[in-house]
Amino acid sequence: MRFARPGSIASAVLSLLLFAPLAVVTAENDIEDALSGFDEPGADDNLEDTLSGFDDGELPVEDTESARWLSGENWRITGDTGVSAAWNYAHQRPGPGETDWRGLSRLRARLRPELRLDLGNDWDARVRVNGFYDFAYLINGRSGYTNQVLRHYESELEFQDTYLRGSLGTNLDIKLGRQIVVWGKSDNLRVVDVLNPLDRRQPGMTDIENLRLPVTMSRLDYFTGDWRVTALALHEVRFDKLPVVGSDFYPYSNPPPEEDDIHDGGSNTEYALALSAVMPGWDLSFHLARLFDEETHLAVIDDGAELVHARIDMLGAATNIVFADWLLKVESAYFDGLRYSAAPGKDFARTDLLLGVDYNGFDNTTLTLESALRHIHSYDRRLELGPVPYQRNRLETAFRYSADFLNDRWNAIIVATRFGEALNEGGITRIQLGYELRQALELTGGLVLYHGRVQWPFDSIADNDRVFLELKYSF
């Protein structure tokens, strides 16, 4: 099982006890972000959550019998556990030496407990752990999978939200440790929401709230009138978890080059600043960040080549505006310092613009339509010929339907993401239906479809269609 190293656990505990924003993590050895834009986040619980834009992504507390006995005067244990299964039905018989991904592809047991501590005087702390073991690899025969797949997919145990939070004064709050900071207004496409990486190892299977990866950071919030100023220092350098060699979602025919190992903290610290306000019927936020690019580019070094994350700057803004049953969402971001493998030594800039609308005029139903245009400035034709082809303009469109039925015991979700102006350059569709068996116990089943057999990377993953089933208990 893939456990956190003793040094990592000790560092996380010291971060909590000694108020220090430190954690030791293992940098992910990933490929380029070939599958960006595939997230399917969940609908907002209410309008206030929609307009906040700075949610911490905390786990909801269920008022259950187990929640009452897993608590004391100043502490509480909450979380969820469950089992999920997936069955691949569209794969053809593999060739010699290839992994057979037909049939059972997931039988995962998961436990995600969280300890909440009330320290008094407006201070509290969280320690959250996520662990899973997937029995599908044992059932199918571990020898049929690559070492990379077994290491990254069979089991995992790591700290998630683990932080100390409190007030330094009437208008000043502080939060130290591993945490999630949600920027942006979109339910489906990321433009301004750039601070936390995502788990993209099996795209399209779940909502974005289950995909964001916490990062060790220091956060200060200053409040004045209706405005909030948020300053962030990201001490942990962490990138998306991507499909590895041998995975049915790995889009290349050859293993990737080695990736540059970026150490945490010091000169590699990332910084972010936000100014935001929430008013009756609308909100507005401005964002500034200096980060490492999620995507890598190929750089020549003394003994060969390696994948490198460029240091980039981001300037963005976002707003929500309510009109009766309609919610208008606008996001824009400008990125500078981008590097691409096909044009070595040249810096690029890109502007992303998102427009979206929610309609809540039907009872217990939300309809969402969002589109994001990503435009590369000073475009170089060589970008079309690289291992990851980049277009001058890339359009992503997402539609989401979410509805509750029969006293909210049933929930239906349809999420469709498409690429291209004619919506014909690939995409993912997820259809799911959930039923609350009893309080805190939910059964969810559905279907995930991957579209586009001639466009990269969908030409490699289009036969990954699958059905899934999950039983989840919250405590």
The whole-number pLDDT of residue 58 equals 52
Q: How confident is the model at residue 270 (pLDDT cuts 50, 70, 90)?
A: very high
Average pLDDT estimate for 138-143: 96
Mean pLDDT over all residues of the chain?
Answer: 87
Number of helical (H) and strand (E) elements in the chain, helices listed first? 6, 20
Place of tokens 């995502």: 198
Query: How does pLDDT run across 296-349, given as a tens digit for each residue?
Result: 999 887 777 899 999 999 999 999 999 999 999 999 999 999 999 999 999 999
Q: How confident is the model at residue 63 (pLDDT cuts 50, 70, 90)?
A: low
Angular region, 53: left φ>0, alpha ψ -120 to 50, beta rest: left
The whole-number pLDDT of residue 209 equals 80
Mean pLDDT comparison of 19-28, 47-56, 240-249, highest-scoring range: 240-249
- CATH hierarchy code of domain 27-64+116-125+142-436: 2.40.160
Question: What is the enclosing helix (H) or strand (E) of 177?
Answer: strand 172-179
pLDDT above 70 as % of the chain: 85
Q: Is the pLDDT of residue 5 over 90?
A: no
The whole-number pLDDT of residue 173 equals 98
pLDDT above 90 as % of the chain: 76
Average pLDDT estimate for 287-303: 91
Q: How confident is the model at residue 42 (pLDDT cuts 50, 70, 90)?
A: very low
pTM: 0.84
Q: Is the pLDDT of residue 34 over 90?
A: no
How far is Cα 13 from Cα 177, in angstroms, rounded to an integer?
10
Average pLDDT estimate for 274-285: 96
How far is Cα 85 from Cα 325, in angstroms, rounded to an integer?
37
Secondary structure (H, E, C), 84-137: EEEEECCCCCCCCCCCCCCEEEEEEEEEEEEEEEEEECCEEEEEEEEEEEECHH
The whole-number pLDDT of residue 67 equals 60
The whole-number pLDDT of residue 71 equals 87
Structure tokens at 218: 């220091």
